[in-house]
Amino acid sequence: MGLTSELTEASGAAAGTAPALLVERLAYAYPHGRQALFGVDLRVEPGERVAVLGPNGAGKTTLVLHLNGVLSGGSGRIEVAGLPVDKANLREIRRRVGVVFQDPDDQLFMPTVAEDVAFGPANFGVPDVAARVRAALEAVGMTEHADRSPLHLSGGQRRRVALATVLACDPEILVLDEPSANLEPVARRELAEVLLGLGRTMLMVTHDLPYAAQLCPRSVLIDDGVVIADGPTRELLADRELLAAHRLELPYGFRLP
């Protein structure tokens, strides 16, 4: 799928299909009282790759946990490919929203890579699990490690396996929490190549601004539980004052391409 996001967006709108992700006026306070989200609005069209930027404590992770219904009980509305996130269709929502967590050691818990990748599809009861596992491992270039323990893999390999565990469920939207954290430069580039090659709708939570620039044509800046800015990543990252006001900055020596 070599489509640019603009093209997919246009065709999606023309066909009148539901957005891949729709978040409306989402507000949430944790049980112990701290309000994390104050009315977040976000719309992601099929095929788009969107970066969610923001400093620590901005509410990014809280937002992610709402997308697949792990957190709920606040106000607002979330839809994934037209299906509202609520108790009744939680299972289907969790299949549609593939969350790749920050630490692969939290995500990979089965004794072998193949079994871990099969965990999601088996839970969701999708047909032909074995073929899905093969396809997912091939997509991330980890086929030859299928029978190894995740313990024996490098950090970058683990990250790619974690991605495969979610891909195997064939999600409508991939949600990546800090995908580049703790990766060496080569592993970081390899992951970027894999992600770009997938051609899937993607929401990438990060404060790695160069990575956002490389992977996502569009960015959303979140701080203090609201959307501050939403636009082309290049323009957003060129606004130094805006970044500085929200504790974000480009790394030393980095120039926007």
Partner 1 sequence: MGAGHAHVLYRAGGSAVHRMAPQVKIVAALAVVVCVVATPRTEFLAFGGYLAVLVAVWMVAGIPVRWFAARAVIELPFVILAVVMPFLGGGARYPFLGLSLSVDGSLAGWNILAKGTLGMLVSLTLAGTTTPRDLILGLQRLHVPAMVTTVATLMLRYLAVIAAEARRMRTARLARGHDPRFLWQVGATARGIGTLFVRSYERGERVHLAMVSRGFAGAMPDPGGAAVTRATWTFGLIPALLATSILAVALWA
Cα 101 from Cα 175, distance rounded (Å): 8
Nearest of 76, 63, 71, 61 to residue 26 by alpha carbon: 76
Interaction pattern, residues 27-66, with partner 1; x per rule: CB under 8 A: --------------------------------------x-
Whether 55 and 247 have beta carbons less than 8 Å apart is answered as yes
Task: Work out whether 151 is an interface residue with partner 1 (CB under 8 A).
Answer: yes
Task: Work out whether 193 is an interface residue with partner 1 (CB under 8 A).
Answer: no
Near partner 1 by CB under 8 A: residue from 165, 201, 206, 233: 165
Nearest of 225, 229, 242 to residue 60 by alpha carbon: 225
Cα 148 from Cα 153, distance rounded (Å): 8
Near partner 1 by CB under 8 A: residue from 17, 25, 77, 105: 105
3 state DSSP class of 51: strand
Task: Work out whether 115 is an interface residue with partner 1 (CB under 8 A).
Answer: yes
Q: ∠245-102-70 over CA atoms, to 5°?
A: 95
Task: Work out whether 241 is an interface residue with partner 1 (CB under 8 A).
Answer: no
Q: How far is CA 256 from the centre of its chain?
A: 23
Least distance CB 68 / partner 1 (angstroms)? 5
Near partner 1 by CB under 8 A: residue from 124, 181, 214, 226: 124
Where along the sequence are the contacts to partner 1 (CB under 8 A)?
A: 65, 68, 70, 91, 94-95, 97, 99, 101, 103, 105-112, 115, 118-120, 122-124, 149-152, 165-166, 169
